[in-house]
Each structure stands twice: as structure tokens, then as C-alpha cells.
Amino acid sequence: MERCEWKFISPKKYKFKFVLLFKGQGYVNLTGNYGQEITLKEYEKPPIKKVIDSEFLIITSVATGDITVEPFFKGYLSVIKKHPYPKILEAGCSVITKNGTTTWFTDPKFAYPNNAQCWYNFTVPWQTQIVVSTGLVFIEKSADQILYYDDDGEHVLIEHSPGKPIYSLCNICR
């Protein structure tokens, strides 16, 4: 069994947000203050998002089975501000449509580091292709996400993390 371990420390009044995107054979264990422990097991399918309310975080990757397998994974770790209440704030979203292009952005004084979110709903007409890209990200370049949901709002179709390639959505499966 192979094992790798990393330790992170956050400033006071902050906590960790961990997003596991891919993991090899085995599991990933997250350990925080006071014995808080979360195990991301083999059968859980990434992406898996966990928030750990802790001043330190130990990430342990353990390979199971064949001893030649390395304990690897891919994920994003960010430090987010603790709130006195468990509420996600509105981030001051703005949407501008000009010449067929819709630009959607947040107001930085409301968004980071307040764990805020924006949303913009639109319908893609039948047999229409749209291209979505991230134009400018000031902070947490690889931690923030853009999620595309189906019409029931519960199933994530595509998850885009800024800094990755542009995604193209083609609505032909209705």
C-alpha cells in the first residue's frame, strides 16, 4: 500500500474547500481539527466537493490493492471565509448582452472572499451551439466553477473550472 500526505494551514476565520476531480485506485482522506475526518472512497464518483471547517487540513492519498499503483489524485483546494451564518450570498451579478454575446460578471467587493455565488438561467434553442468561456478571473483561478445544469436543475451536465479549455455545448439531445 502506497501513501502520500500533505498538510495545509489556513488563516484564522477561514476554512478549506476541496474539490476532488479525479482519483486513481484507492481513496483520499481529509483530516481537520478535533479529529474531523472525511474519507472519499473508491466508489464515489468525482467531482466531489467538501468544505472542511478547520484551521489545518491534512490530505492523505492511499492506494489500495496492487502495491505498484501510486496514490494519485487531481483536485483543487481553496481557502474560504467562515460565515457567522450558513448562507451563500448573492455576489452582485450583472449580465450584458451585446451583438449576440452575453457577458456575465460578479462585483468583486461582494464575491470573494464571501463564498458568494451568481447564477444566470437561459434556454438553448434546439440545434443551437453555444460557446462558454471565462474571460477574466481575479482570485481563485482554479477553484471557482461554472456549472451547467439540465432543465430540472439537479444534474450537472458540464463542470468548468476557469483556467481549463473553453467548453462548447450543443443542444441536440432533446
Same domain, 23 and 68: yes
Same domain, 154 and 100: yes
How many residues belong to the chain?
174
Residue 153 lies in a domain: yes
Residue 86 lies in a domain: no
| Residue-range definition of the domain harbouring residue 152 | 94-171
Residue 87 lies in a domain: no
Domains in the chain, number: 2
Same domain, 99 and 42: no
CA distance 45 to 95: 33
Residue 136 lies in a domain: yes
pLDDT tens, position by position, 116-160? 666 666 677 777 776 666 555 544 444 455 666 655 555 555 555
DSSP 8-state symbol, 125: P
CA distance 40 to 112: 27
| pTM higher than the cut 0.75 | no
Residue 127 lies in a domain: yes
pLDDT tens, position by position, 68-86? 555 567 777 777 766 544 4
| Per-residue CA distances from 42 to 1, 5, 60, 127, 155 (Å) | 15, 18, 14, 38, 21
CA distance 162 to 174: 28
